[in-house]
Amino acid sequence: MSPELKIVIYEEKNILKKLLDLLDEQYELLINKDVIKLDKIATEIDLVAKELATLEIKRRNIVGSETSMAKLTEDCNDENIIKAYEDIKHYLHMLEVQKEANNNLIKQKLLFTKKMINFIKPSKGIGTYNSLGQVGK
């Protein structure tokens, strides 16, 4: 395995950890309702995601787009690379879970905000009853 590829794998691992830390921080900001810092963290997440994409392109240029990371680590005898690949898989799983939690929290907050706005400022349209006896718009 080439030294360039080893460097890219370790850099990917570090960037994934950084992205996970940022998503954890975003979750805390969502809980604490700190809107100003949420905007800042969103731009940081975008920058880290772009860094990760450039590293992935670099890795694919070194190895080729057809070869997967799993196949590379199977052929590799280096325990450090195998450990780094396992860490990458773990970080990817944790990123998926954290992203889903953040998205659900954001949706929940948006739904609550929408309901509060509708409560404060109801629609001015005249409601009519439909065939089921419910008021329609």
Q: At what angle do helices 79-120 and 3-32 cross, to 10 degrees?
A: 30
Q: pLDDT tens for residues 20-49?
A: 999 999 999 989 888 888 889 999 999 999
- Provide the pLDDT for residue 34: 84
Confidence tier at 104 by pLDDT (50, 70, 90): very high
DSSP at 2: -
What is the residue extent of each domain of the chain? 3-124
Yes or no: say if 5 and 59 are a contact pair by the CB < 8 Å rule: yes
CATH of 3-124, one of 3.40.50.720, 3.40.50.1100, 1.20.58.300, 1.50.10.10: 1.20.58.300
Q: pLDDT tens for residues 48-87?
A: 999 999 998 998 888 887 777 878 787 788 888 889 889 9
